[in-house]
Structure 1
Amino acid sequence: MTGPLWAETLPVPIGWLKVEQPAPPVLSNLATKADDLGVAGARLGLADNATTGSFMGHDYKLTETLVPEGEDPLAAARAALADTPLLLIDAPADIIVQIADLPEARSAVLFNTARGEDRLRQQDCRANLLHTAPSDAMLSDALMQFISARRWSRLALIQGGHPGDAEFAAALDASATKFGQKIEARKTWEFDADMRRNASAEVPLFTQDLGEYDLLLLADTLDDFDRYIPYNTWLPRPTAGTEGIVATAWSPVVEQWGAAQLQGRFDELAGRDMQAQDYAAWAAVRSIGEAVTRSGVADPSALRDFLLSDDFELAGFKGRQQSFRDWDGQMRQPIPLVHDRAVVAQAPLEGFMHQQTELDTMGADRPETTCTAFAN
């Protein structure tokens, strides 16, 4: 009589690395971030992986590394990579590139879970770097699809003075051109006074010379001034971009396609609402879990090949299967367009066609990419 056969346990260590940055001054103290932003999503993804992994002998572990301000992020990355070749990163774009270029990272699979800069998917792309955070181009394309569908042809823009504001404004410009729109008037935010007292007086005068427009776009990636713009403009017009109608990877108001169940499990784990960075980290850990489940291995090279193949799909609670583009490592995914209390629409919108998948109408498509790292 033959006894039971026990499968050997397959260890799957995963790392999460965050490089803390000094918070720039903003006009309002209302904009606060959770201490566990991002990593809470990774923890939920780990719990979800364990549900299936426990039956298959897959042992998932998460190691969390927080790099305080002023400490060496590359030394911390080397230490994290010594423990696992599967690493989620929340760091400025330049540091992400430096980590990806480390000799210790050459055979690793890294996940950008926080940064939207298009250059990380274009001229600064790296073959070992995948992105579960949507690019700025994906977000701005989603927004321009909605604007085009509503036939709001006259657009104005206010952008802040932070480098991230300029990058997002450039993405809005590119998306406007892509979808046959034009931003006709623009201004740069110039105030540093307390808008809690002055917004109703200053903002109408500031926006008066923008002329006629259907929609006012806001590029304020620090959430510095944009909260003071709606309902204070000279013309009674809607706002979009970083305030008003916002394109995002995830929002607490997403409820369809089983999202309410994901929201509930996250709230039970973290005691708060799930944010876009939480979702990106969850998607990265779940992508690892799905790849290990389907391939049966934890080797980073084999996992990378599977993640970039046509066989990989992730059920991301947004109504469509999500996958990685094999030309720049970006996860293709639906983009909810939301305000604080509800989903307005979800891109890709009906009518925006693509020969492969409508998800590739947002962000850099294969013919548009300047990334060469994935060519081989």
Structure 2
Amino acid sequence: MRRLRTALLTVAAILSGALPGRAGLDVTITWLQQRAERPPVLSNLDPVLDDLGRAGAELAIRDNATTGRFLGHGYALEEVIVEPGGDLLGAARAALDRSPYLVIDAPAEALLQIADLPQARDAILFNAAAPDMKLRDGDCRANLLHTLPSLAMRADALMQFARLKRWDRLAMITGTHPGDLAFAAALRRSAAKFGMKIGAEKSWAFDADMRRNAAQEVPLFTQDLGDYDLLLIADELGDFGRYVAYNTWRPRPVAGSEGLVPVAWSRVVEQWGAAQLQSRFADLAGRPMRPRDYAAWAAIRTIGEAVTRTNSADPASLRAFILSPGFELAGFKGRPLTYRHWNGQLRQPIPLVTPRAVVAQAPLSGYLHQRSEMDTLGLDAPESACNAFD
């Protein structure tokens, strides 16, 4: 079943206060989401959010409107929600008939199918939810840009910190969910990239109630990992990682999906004007902003910034500007955000956070790059097999 709602976030195309000489432009952006059934986890403490990502899109439309009202630019957000098992491709075709700008929350394979639709050939699609590396590598598409950091970017941020701390001996516990396995693979690749190696690894396969048994089971489970400086947790589903910290056989720091976590965004990010963004989001959504909210916000703000700078709503003109050296997005992370012209990934710093503080933000000092220090995070141009942007 599909739910279609046009958000009441439209700004008039031409206002009395618009600057003279500016042509009125109306830009409609579609939030397209494929809802998925969440697998069961050990704890039910984390709420399931119906507006994850969409709330970030709504805030960005409001932010676009703030600038647009002075330029005669109007913005509207249309929401298309596809329930599990629904016709996502059909919904995408219909949305593309109405607008060439889609911000998508869907799995990687579905993203590729949408990007390959004939109706999407001249569109600009934003991936705001899939961290899969293949979308930035050999399976990239020229009409698909990525505002959510890849798994490689998050893993590289963590490994930069581990290397800086000289935590060179690593161990890892991995869940069995596909997202867990993909993050574990990214951590292995990143460890090798920064001259480290993950030694002992174990797969988490407990089905007991860890809320009662963690203090007994986790020490036994981690006893044979040997000695290590840092224990990596690949638990992207949020299932078991919370029970590992402080229960390990050896008292060592925990990082990855739990403990010290590399993220696109967190409620504890406060510097560089971020507190103002946090406050506006909380007023809108009644909760803290999460990484997918930030990715959706960045996607729609990208369109708004490009429309403002080019005074155009033509997709080809906007795409060329977005991928050009002249584009910059103020993303409340201390540095202007730009797009990698070889695979469409948004360059961005990665905060390393605990539940109550930012510990560091990558790229860290000392990691240099001939183009941008942010290109030390994730697939650099020589590493990426993407050739669709050539």
Are residues 1:300 and 2:319 paired?
A: no
Amino acid paired to 1:292: V
Q: Whole-Å Cα distance in 1 between the matches of residues 88 and 146 of structure 2?
A: 19
* 1:280 partner letter: A
Cα RMSD, aligned residues only: 1.0
Q: Which amino acid aligns with 1:85?
A: P
Deviation at 1:183, TM superposition (A): 0.3
Return 5+ residue gaps in structure 1 as ranges: none
**2:338 counterpart SS class:** strand
Identity fraction in percent: 64
Matched, 1:288 2:303: yes
Residue 226 of structure 1 is aligned with which of 241, 260, 284?
Answer: 241
Q: Which residue, 188, 191, 207 being the options, matches 1:173?
A: 188
Following superposition, the deviation at residue 194 of structure 1 comes to: 1.1
Counterpart amino acid of 1:122? D
Asked if 1:267 corresponds to 2:267, the answer is: no
Runs of at least 5 residues in structure 2 that lack an aligned partner in the other structure:
1-18
AA at the equivalent of 1:370 = A
Counterparts of 1:183-332 in structure 2, within 5 Å, are 183-332=198-347
Q: 1:232 to 1:300 in 2, by over 3 A?
A: same
Q: Does 1:115 align with 2:125?
A: no
Distance between the aligned counterparts of 1:183 and 1:103, measured in 2?
44
Say how many residue pairs are matched: 372
Which string of whole-angstrom CA distances, capped at 9 and with x for unpartnered residues, describes residues 38-66 of structure 1? 01001111100000100101010000010
Alpha-carbon separation, structure 2, partners of 1:250 and 1:238: 22
Q: Aligned partners of 1:86, 1:5: CA distance in 2, in Å?
A: 27
AA partner of residue 112 (structure 1) = N
* Correspondence list, 1:93-172, <5 A: 93-172=108-187
Please state whether the residue corresponding to 1:351 is helix, strand or coil. Answer: coil
**1:295 maps to amino acid:** T
Quote how far apart the aligned CAs of 1:82 are. 1.1
How far did 1:322 drift?
0.3
TM-score for both structures, normalised by structure 1: 0.98
- Cα distance in 1 for partners of 2:254, 2:358 equals 15
**Counterpart of 1:81?**
96
1:271-317 superposed Cα distances (whole Å, 9 cap, x missing partner): 11010100000000111000000011011111111100000000100
Aligned counterparts of 1:199 and 1:134: Cα–Cα separation in 2: 32
Residue 39 of structure 1 aligns with which residue? 54
Q: Quote the Cα distance in structure 2 between the aligned partners of 1:248 and 1:197.
A: 29
Give, in whole Å, the separation in 1 of the partners of 2:348 and 2:181: 24
Give a deviation string over 1:339-369, Cα, whole Å, max 9, x none. Answer: 0000000000000010111000000111111
- In 2, distance between residues paired with 1:95 and 1:15? 16
CA–CA distance in 1 between the matches of 2:132 and 2:21?
46
Equivalent in the alignment of 1:10: 25
CA apart distance, 1:19: 0.2
CA distance in 2, matches of 1:279, 1:319: 15
- CA–CA distance in structure 1, aligned partners of residues 116 and 108 of structure 2: 13
1:22 Cα deviation (Å)? 1.2
Report whether the alignment pairs 1:60 with 2:72: no
Report the alpha carbon displacement of residue 33 of structure 1 after superposing the two structures with TM. 2.9
Q: How far apart, CA to CA, are the structure 2 residues paired with 1:152 and 1:8?
A: 57
* Deviation at residue 69 of structure 1 after TM alignment: 1.1
Q: What's the secondary structure of 1:265's corresponding residue?
A: helix
Q: Which moved more, 1:58-67 or 1:20-29?
A: 20-29
What amino acid sits opposite 1:183 in the alignment? I
Give me the whole-angstrom Cα distance separating, in 2, the residues matched to 1:354 and 1:213: 30
Which is worse superposed, 125-134 or 75-84? Answer: 75-84
One-letter identity of the residue aligned with 2:126: F
When residues 145 and 5 of structure 1 are mapped into structure 2, their CA distance, relative to the original with a 3 A threshold, is: closer
Paired AA for residue 225 in structure 1: F
- Could you tell me which amino acid in structure 2 is paired with residue 228 of structure 1? Y
> Does the residue aligned with 1:367 lie in a helix, a strand or coil?
coil
Alpha-carbon distance, 1:32 to partner:
2.4
Letter of the 2:380 counterpart: D
CA displacement at 1:31 relative to structure 2: 2.6
Using structure 2 for the length normalisation, give the TM-score. Answer: 0.94
- Distance of aligned partners of 1:5 and 1:198 in 2 relative to their CA distance in 1, 3 Å threshold: closer
Distance 2:168 2:381 in 1: 28
| Structure 1 ranges of 4+ moved more than 6 A | none
- CA drift of 1:8 comes to 3.6
| Distance across 1 between alignment mates of 2:164 and 2:30 | 41
Q: Distance in 1 between matches of 2:313 and 2:46?
A: 40
Residue 7 of structure 1 deviates from its aligned partner by 4.0
Q: How many angstroms apart in 1 are the aligned matches of 2:43 and 2:95?
A: 36
